[in-house]
Each structure stands twice: as C-alpha cells, then as structure tokens.
Structure 1
Amino acid sequence: MKSLDEIGLEHRTDKASNHHDFLRFYDRRLSALRNHSFTLLEIGVYRGGSVRTWSEYFPNATIVGLDITEECVKYAGGNIHVRIGDATHTDFLFDVIQEFGVPTVIVDDGSHRWDHQITTLQVLFPILRKGGVYIVEDLDTSFNGHLKSAPFDGLSPISAFDYLVKLSRCVTGDNALDDERPHDLFIADNAPWVGSVEFGRRTAVLSKKTDRQAGSF
C-alpha cells in the first residue's frame, strides 16, 4: 500500500517530500482514517494535486476543495467536489458544510494571511467533528522573511504561529496556568477541546478531543 507521500509525489502536490514535505508528517496522524467514510475540507485547490492526493489516500471519503478561482472546478470528479467562493466568508463556509456535512479533517492551505488563518480556525474548529484533525499550512508566512515580499499579516496584530503558540500554552499548561489568562475568548472556550498542537516544518496539526476534559481558564 502506497504511503501518503508516495501518492502526493505521483500527483505532484507541493505537500510532498520534494517540496514542503508535509505529507510524511501528516501520514501517521491521518492513517487511522484511511478507509473511513468522512468529509475532508481543504481551503485552496490551486492545481489540484492536493485534492487528488486526498482522494486516492481516502477512497471512501468526500473530498471538498474550496477556492476563489473559477477554473478549479475542473479538478472535481469521483469523490472530489470543488466549490468556488471566499473561505473568509462565514456564510459560504456554512453553506458548504450544510451541503457536505461536518468535516472530520480540515486543511487550511488558502491565502496564508495571518488574519485569514486565525479567523478560519475560529470559525471552523468549533464545527470540526469530535476526534477530528485541523491543519494550518504555510505558517512560515508568520515570520519576517516572508513579510518582506508580501503583506501576510493582513489585519491581524498577531501572527498565526504566535496565535497557535498562545493556544498551545493553554493546552499544555492546563490547570497550572494559575492567574495567566488566555489570549482571547476563542482560546478560552476551545482550548479544552484541543488534544494536541503539533508543529512541523511550516505547518501545524491540531487534534480535537472526543470529550471536553480540561481545567478552567
């Protein structure tokens, strides 16, 4: 049986080991779902390599790709569905979820802007199915080297990476936080649902618990 990275290399996704090398990091976190029936939602279709990779790796899943570029509809077929719209618009996201069901896996490979990454997490993580996985890619845009070439900060005063670090402080510190307060209400409300925050090269994987167990913040 081919690994997730082997499939990604065949479909020429930049997630494979010859580019970003995300897939080997994801494989051991997603392999338990390989033969399950569920919905995977990916923000950002680009040239279709990623949705084709998910389609082959998860043959029983419903793969839903979102993009603002109309021509991305050509990548739909089989268990791949493509919807055109702006993933920063809550109404659009809820329409997609109403159509395809609550996702078990969400991959944010969209604009890579801090404000978009944070807002999308705030909207979609609470909806993510219990026991699911939420992935935020290209977190290297949170660092100064990328800000020299593009305004990845958008309207956010905090980078997406630093925001996830603040979330992970609540997850790891739990009751030992003492009088340290969470960064915002989203983190206060949702950190008890986060099982883990794992950082890899340019990416992060959040797991959602099946039951809420945590200290109070």
Structure 2
Amino acid sequence: MSSLYELGIKHGTDKTIISATHKKSYLHIYERLFASLSQYEEIRILEIGVRGGNSVNMWLERFPNAIVVAIDICECDFKVFDESRYIFYRADQRDTDLLKEIGLRHKAYDIIIDDGSHIIEDYIESFYALYPYLRRNGFYVIEDLYNNYSEWNTTRTTRPNGNGTAFNEFQNFLTKQVHLGRAFDYTDSHLNIFSIHQYPGLMIVMKDLV
C-alpha cells in the first residue's frame, strides 16, 4: 500500500510540504499516528478546507474503508476518487450551528482536520463545535499553526492573528483539562481531553489512547 506521503504527491495536496527544520511533512506524522485506523471496518474523516479536493482523494485512496465528509466555504468541483464514500457541504466554518448539525448528522469521527481559514477565532470556535463528535481514540487536528505568529504574518494581512496570544490561551486551557483529568472525572464532559501533541505546524488533540 502506498504511504500517505506518496499519495499526497500523487494527488497534489500541499500537506506534502516539508518542515524547514525537521524535514518531515504533515503526512509523515499522520502516517505514524493514523496507521492504527486501518484495522477498522469503517472510519469517518471530516476535513474543513478541501479546496481542489487533493487531500480528499488522498484520504479515500489511503483508507478504502473511510467515509470522507468535506466542508469548504467555496463550491468544490473536482473528480472524486470514490463518490460513494464522499459527502460535501458548502459552509463557512464560522457558522458553528451548521458545523454542529453536520457533526451530529454523521457522528462520530475518527479524524477531524481543520485546514480552513487559519484564523485563531475560527478554529477555536470550530473545535468547540466539532470536538464532541470525535470518537474515543480519535484525532482532532488543527493545521498550519505558524499562521498564529507575528513573525510569519508581517506580510500576510489576511491572517489577523496578532502575536498568537489567543492561541496560547486556548492551548493553555486544553492543557489544564488534560492535567485536571488526573484528579477529576471529566468522562461526561463535552471535551474529555486525554492528550495534546504539538508538531511542526500542527496540533493534535486526542480523547483517549487506543
């Protein structure tokens, strides 16, 4: 079976871009983390921000047991690898009521990826709307987090993220949930966060271990 990176190159997704320091792409990280999902009869992947469908076709080919639910602010017209396993919604991720409706309609998900606006307020609100629909042992991914920092954004006026303070507050809150989970039972909470993983450009939140 081809690796995610090989399929990413084949389908032309920008998730193949290599980290300047660590010489790994997002797909090298995902290959290690998501490999365990191949054992399931069916998995569900939700991705916000699919543009030309490059990553959609990569997911569909890599996981022949997957249903991919895609959300984008623009209408996406592209040839789908397997239309029987693909569901598309044209939606603005700022419409959290619609996100919750979509989440509930197809619950629950093994992987949720936010590759949408990359605006801090948007992905925080999207996280709170969709994380409750993540399965135990699932992965919630927020991509391209270098957009949070002023060093990157000095010439990118379309990314009004300031110096990243709002992101720091968000991740500090999530970290608090992880550690308080040692002392308090958050099983029935809408978050129930088990772990947070930081990688170059992305953050992955999990509900539990496999």
When normalised by structure 2's length, the TM-score is 0.81
1:145-178 per-residue CA deviation (whole Å, 9 max, x = no partner) reads: 23322253469984335522442244247558xx
* Contact 2:148/2:163 (<8 A) preserved: no
Residues 201 and 207 of structure 1: CA distance in aligned 2, closer, same or farther (over 3 Å): same
Greater shift, 80-89 or 52-61, is seen at 80-89
Superposition map of 1:9-158 within 5 A: 9-18=9-18, 21-36=25-40, 37-70=42-75, 72-76=76-80, 77-148=83-154, 149-153=156-160, 158=165
Residues 105 and 206 of structure 1: CA distance in aligned 2, closer, same or farther (over 3 Å): same
Residues 162 and 56 of structure 1: CA distance in aligned 2, closer, same or farther (over 3 Å): farther
SS in 2 for 1:116: helix
Gaps of 5+ in 1: 177-188, 212-217
AA of the residue aligned to 2:6: E
Gaps of 5+ in 2: 184-188
CA distance, structure 2, for counterparts of residue 156 and residue 78 of structure 1: 43
Residues 128 and 175 of structure 1: CA distance in aligned 2, closer, same or farther (over 3 Å): closer
Give aligned-pair identity as a percent: 29
Query: CA shift at 1:44, angstroms?
Result: 0.4
Aligned residues: 197
* Contact 1:35/1:58 (<8 A) preserved: no
- Root-mean-square deviation (Å): 2.8
Greater shift, 143-152 or 158-167, is seen at 158-167
SS in 2 for 1:194: coil
